[in-house]
Structure 1
Amino acid sequence: MHPKHFQLASRLLAEIEVFAEIDVSAVGISSSWLDGMRNRGIPFTPEYWSATQGPSRKMQLVRAARDMERQGLLRRLTEPHRDRTTYVIPSITLLRQAIEKLSVQADIDAICLGLRKTHWGAELAVQLEQWAAIVPQVAIRPEEVVPHSHPESKASMNDHCPN
C-alpha cells in the first residue's frame, strides 16, 4: 500500500473505531458527523486530519482519496455539481490491507462494531468478520519476546519454534 494511501486508510479506520464507541441510540445525541457516519459514509475531513501538518498534507489526502477511488479501494460521495468529496466508503480490500499494515494497532472488533452501526457498512462488517476468522492471528507469548540487547537470544527462540 502506498504510504499516502495508508495515511488516509489509517485515519478512516480510526474514525470507524471512534464511531464504535459512541452510543448512537442515546436520546438527544445528534450531529452532522454522527448522522453522516451512520447514513452516508465516513465524513471526509482532511482539514481536520491534517490540522497540525498544513495545507499540503490536506491536499495529499484529497489526492489519495481520488487515486484510491480510481483503484477501486474506496467510493467517494461528492457535493452536487462539484467534485468535492464529502464522504468515503472503504472497500473490503482497503479495510483488510489497512488492518494488516496496522497489525495489533487496529482493533478489528471495534471496526466491525462501528461498521455494523452504519447503513453502508453492515455488509462490510460481515465480510471483515469472516476474513478475520480465517486469517491466522499472530500471538506473541511473553517467553517469545527477544530483547534487543541480547542478539544471541534469537537462536534460542528459533529452537522453540515449530517448523
Structure 2
Amino acid sequence: MQDFRSLAAGELEYIVKHTSNHWRKIFNVYAKLLLDWHQVNNRKNLPESWQKYRDQELFQSHSQEALIFSHFRLNQNTQAINIIAGKTYAANVDLPPLVWLDSYFAINKQHRLIVAPYPDYRQLSNERITYADERVEISTTVVPLHNQSNSGKIHHILIHRVLP
C-alpha cells in the first residue's frame, strides 16, 4: 500500500477556508457517509454529529481513511474498502466486474470495491447515503491502517476521486 499523510489538526478547516466552496461540500458529504457507515457497523466512541466527525475524525491519522487523487489501482490490502467516487470516473478506469445495485451504486464484494456517486449534495444526497450505508454490504473486517497499533481500530476505507 502507498504511504498516506493524514491531515494535521486544523488543516481541513484551512483547506475549506482557502479554496472553493466545492471542497466544503465534498468534505461534508464524506463526513455524513463515513459517520453513518461507522454507526451502521456499530463502531463505538463516535462524535454525535457529522459536523464533529468532519472536524475531529475525517482523514485524521486515527480515522483509517484516505482520499486518493492518483489513478486507481486495486489495493492489494484485501482488508481495505475502496470507494470510487463518481460513475464517470469509474467508467474510465480498469475495474473488476461490478454488480450494479441500482443506477447509483455498484459493488464487487471479492475486491471490497464500491462505486458511488460523486460526493456532492445533488449526486450523493442524504437519501443515497442512507441507502448505501444500509444496503451496500461488504465484509468489514477490522484492521489497523499501516499496521500501527490503534486503540479504536476501524475499517480501512480508501476513497478515490479525480481532481475537480
Fold match, TM over 0.5?
no
Q: Which is strand-richer, 1 or 2? A: 2
TM interval, short-chain normalised: under 0.3
Point out which structure has higher relative CO (alpha carbons under 8 A, 6+ apart). Answer: 2
Q: Which is helix-richer, 1 or 2? A: 1
TM-score (norm: length of structure 1)? 0.28
For the pair shown, the structure with the greater C-alpha radius of gyration is 1
